[in-house]
Copies of this chain bind each other. A is one copy, B any other.
Amino acid sequence: MKVLVTVMPKVGVLDPQGKAIGHALAGLGFAGVGEVRAGKVIELEIAETDAARAKQLAEEMARKLLANTVIESFRVEVA
């Protein structure tokens, strides 16, 4: 079963990567771009047939490894 874990910086946490992308887009001439936030997405193939169990496992993986829960929040979707 494929599970997507999306990890984003928490709102209010400094996001230098997002800021850099924003400046670069402006430099390329893209007007009207406001806030830019950059995060990561991890696609996991989990040997599990029960969607709820796969989601629970992925959340545990996110808490233990994939996300730094002090400054990041995560969202899990079963694809």
Contact = CB atoms under 8 A, between A and B. Distances in A.
Interface of A: 6, 8, 18, 21, 24-25, 28, 30-48, 57, 60-61, 64-66
Most chain B CB within a 10 A radius of its CB, from A30, A44, A65: A44
A41 B42 contact: no
Number of copies: 2
Given A24-B65, A30-B57, A41 B44 contact: no
A46 B37 CA distance: 12
A57 B29 CA distance: 11
Contacts of A34: 44-47
Contact of A47 (B8, B32, B60, B64): B32
Most chain B CB within a 10 A radius of its CB, from A42, A45, A61: A42
Contacts of A39: 40-43
